[in-house]
Amino acid sequence: MITKPNGWGEPELEWEQLFTKVRARAATQEERKRFGELHVARAKRLLAAPIEDLYDVVDVTMQMSVPARIHTSLPCAECGEATMETRVRLLHGQHLCPPCFEARLAGRSSHPLPRRQPAAD
């Protein structure tokens, strides 16, 4: 469905001006009341209108996308969260979910990276 130009009615200057004031919390009590009256009347007109007056119905041809491949989930070595195998990061032989991987690299993990041992001469 496509909304018809002005299918919802011509722009109503008073409603638009009051809407701006109400949204900005600058409307007086009388203006808020008047806006409510206009708003309800507008809603009733729309609800009573035949759908053909509001929208153009058009046929759409679409090609269905290929279903997503289902991958195995692996537990994160740090938080235990099951993570799709294509999203798991391997760090020092441990499977980590992306947030735990990033935390480890940034040093914000409860399991810090192991320190490198100096090479033996």
Find the helix packing angle between 13-23 and 29-48, rounded to 10°.
Answer: 130
Question: What pLDDT sits at residue 44?
Answer: 93
DSSP string for residues in 38-70: HHHHHHHHHHHS-HHHHEE------PPPPPPPP
Whose tokens are 């008047």? That residue is: 34
**pLDDT tens digits along 102-115:** 998 888 876 655 55
Is residue 6 very low, low, confident or very high in pLDDT (cuts 50, 70, 90)?
Answer: confident
Question: What pLDDT sits at residue 53?
Answer: 87
- Per the confidence metrics, is the pTM higher than 0.85? no
Euclidean distance between CA atoms 26 and 18, whole angstroms: 9
Task: Return phi, psi of residue 91, to 5°.
Answer: -140, 115
Considering the segment(s) 73-106 as one domain, its CATH architecture is 2-Layer Sandwich (3.30)
Question: What pLDDT sits at residue 117?
Answer: 59
Question: What pLDDT sits at residue 120?
Answer: 63
Q: In whole angstroms, how large is the CA radius of gyration of the chain? A: 30
Question: What pLDDT sits at residue 114?
Answer: 58
Question: What pLDDT sits at residue 119?
Answer: 61
